[in-house]
Structure 1
Amino acid sequence: MRNLIKQIYSDSDQCDLLLGVVDAVDGLTTHFDREYVKQCELGKRDYRELYQAMADNGLLGLGIPEQYGGMGGGVTAAVLLSDLLGQKGLASLSQILSAFSRHAILMHGTEEQIQSYVVPTITGQKSFCIMATEPDAGTNTFAITSRAKKEGDVWLLNGQKTFITQADTADYGLVITRTEESQGGDKRTAGISLFVLDMKSKGIERQKLNISLGRSEDTQWHVFFDDVELPHDALVGSEGKGMAVMFDALNPERFLVAALALGFSEFVLNKTLDYVKQRAPFGKPTGSYQAIQHPLANNRIHLDAARLMLYQGTKIYDTGGEA
């Protein structure tokens, strides 16, 4: 990773920070490894230990400007963290939810919203889930039917969301909902707004889904809203312009999820390489056979190419280009 960072970011003031992230994760993972994950799944340890250690090392502040107490580094730094944790078999969806949710608030929120919702995530005090998907609106977010209606000084939120990761433990939810009826056609994005929801608010009901994403912390939920009150200052950005705001969370999400997948792919490939070096059913390691070597070499090539694309993309994104 150090060589890749030097290759792509040698002309950037981010290079030293990113190399420091590599060193920090190397140090962190001497204390947290796959045995730690196993102990967490057995209920003998807690995933919050890792999050607190990340916070103590400043890693939860990656991607947050220094003026707010973060480490800076843009989306690239947060992506690098996800990639490196994946390479150690430690990354999870839960780790990236706050990273991309708070990005929308940083770009469109008020100073008060940034201080209230973003800054506490740096120390691990607060966390986010993101609530977009509905039973009849998956990738087609324009089809959402949940509705927030203005009543005096508050909004009343009604409807439901589904496949919401960490809806049970997150402190806040970034919820996309309609504030006006859909007009269809070219105006289908109109009337959609984005709010920060306190997940302890009255009127929220959760039902756990019987879905496993590999780790017990990455639970999935139905979330129902029954006249949930949203204060007027919970609105992020302009009323009716929520899709544009939401995309400033979802675009970093694409990078972060890709990093998680790449990191874990690297972890699996390395485990496979270790196995074929040791497994010798016919007197010599199975890794000495070309039928084993060739697909593993192809996997290595594809991983390296994908990683180069990922970090070139984040560099372009962080410098304001079209990625």
Structure 2
Amino acid sequence: MQGWGGLEKVSENGLSTKLLITEQFAQFLAYNLCTGGSVGRTLQDISTALSTVSSSIGSCSASGLSCGSCDTLQVCVPDASTGGFKVATKLQCSTSFPKAPYCNSTLNTCSATPAEECVSESPSVSFACTSDGYFPDVSNCSRYHYCYGDTSYNYECDVKYVYSHEKKMCVLQKLATQCVTMKCTAGLASQLVTYTADASIYGICLLNQPTILFRCPKKQAFDATLGTCQRTCSAAGKEVDEEDCTKFYECYDTTTVGKYTIKHQECPTGTGYNANLPGCDPTFVACTPQPSTSTTTTTTVSMVTTP
């Protein structure tokens, strides 16, 4: 085992399963783990989301490679919080190695033949829910998913219809641009992709596994260059900080239409931000978070980052 730079297991038929986590992506995960995750998920959360991809997931009893299910190979690492082990990432054998779609629990590698205990089990793939609400399908614009808790409800549009994320329903396709999907570059160990129809939705691609989708908090968009969700402005002016009403955001016009410079400001001691003024108000010293008065939508440019 080679540490985070690379992890390799070679089967009897010479098939090599290589799992890599790049330094850039490791820093992205570490940032969220340390800050509580402005992006929305820590490494452990991502592992939990990935665990829904296979039909059943095996527990980790030691560091290294092991079978998570009859068609899933997983990497286990020490868990400092429990003193045991946890799943760092998973690899679906049938996707990465079509000629070796099963996981051999004796060799702990992908294999062309299933283990005896897996002969009757059929692999299944489901949409991994990371928050409540509607999500597009990553690869098929005629499908979409609704998440409630850990359960996903999957829907498919009729012929000639595509999913509209703005309307949260199927609509008649009149233009090719109405079909919006998300694509991960083949062969990359990790990648961040943004959904062009809604920049608050982004995906994390790990190896050749199904893309896991996440959603930024309200009034934030995902910046793939920074690897975090960032505050957005819908117009020039001031907007209340929904999480702390003693603070506000000041949005300035730039030379690019629809783009704004954003500053996070704080009201003087003894005042709170009053969106009706708009401005800091002594009568709002005991304020509670209040909604923004803006009703316009935010448009951002989709970005992709590769290690």
Q: TM-score range, shorter-chain basis?
A: under 0.3
TM-score by length of 1: 0.26
Q: Larger RCO: Structure 1 or Structure 2 (Cα < 8 Å, ≥ 6 residues apart)? A: 1
User: Which has a greater percent of helix?
Assistant: 1
User: Which has a greater percent of strand?
Assistant: 2
TM-score by length of 2: 0.27
- Structure number, greater radius of gyration: 2
